Amino acid sequence: MATSPQVAIIMGSRSDWPVMKHAADMLDKLAVAYEAKVVSAHRTPERMVDFAKGAKAAGFKVIIAGAGGAAHLPGMTASLTPLPVLGVPVPVRDGLKGIDSLLSIVQMPGGVPVGTLAVGEAGAKNAGLLAAQILALNDADLAARVDALRQAQTDAVPESVED
């Protein structure tokens, strides 16, 4: 039986995928099912509204939203759903190295939270891990996989500065 995805990874453009794929890769590592798609706050606003309003009923538990530049997607999505939204600022080619995206996502008005991660690949990777950690609160098997991944990460750090 296929597991219906509990995590949605949405992004403003296909051009965000090379960054947002790091969230997907982390979820793959932890065997967490996800659905990834392009939902643009500016270019496909009705798709955004439909997705955000229907996300909970569709069975999603956490939304990861990545966008660059005037990155309104995470905040607008958060305004339309009770699900936790994790925002990933994507650095855009002709933009301000992700500072624009970060400030657009992080500075939400009180009452409409977006959990904002770091700019770029690290943020996407951590969004995947954080989504898994949220789901692991109610999933002991996933919690064990998260613990194992964190332990492997710790074990991989040598103490000596050279071989």
Q: Which segments are annotated as binding site?
A: 13, 16, 43
Q: Is 15 in the site for ligand RP5 (CB under 6 A)?
A: yes
**Structural tokens at position 141:** 């098997």
CB nearer to ligand RP5: pick between 92 and 131: 92
Q: What gap in Å lies between CA 25 and CA 83, rounded to an integer?
A: 22
Residue with the CB atom nearest ligand RP5 in the bound state:
12
Between helix 17-29 and helix 121-136 the angle, nearest 10°, is 30
| Contact region with ligand RP5 (CB under 6 A), list: 26-34, 62-70, 74-82, 131-139 | 62-70
Q: What gap in Å lies between CA 119 and CA 89, rounded to an integer?
A: 5
Q: What character string, x for contact with ligand RP5 (CB under 6 A) and - otherwise, covers 64-83?
A: ---xxx--------------
- Is residue 23 within 8 Å of 128, Cβ to Cβ? yes
Q: Say if residue 38 is exposed, middle or buried (CB neighbours under 10 Å; 0-12, 13-18, 19+).
A: middle
CB nearer to ligand RP5: pick between 67 and 129: 67
Shortest Cβ distance from residue 148 to ligand RP5 (Å)? Answer: 33
Binding interface with ligand RP5 (CB under 6 A): 11-13, 15-16, 40, 42, 67-69, 90, 92
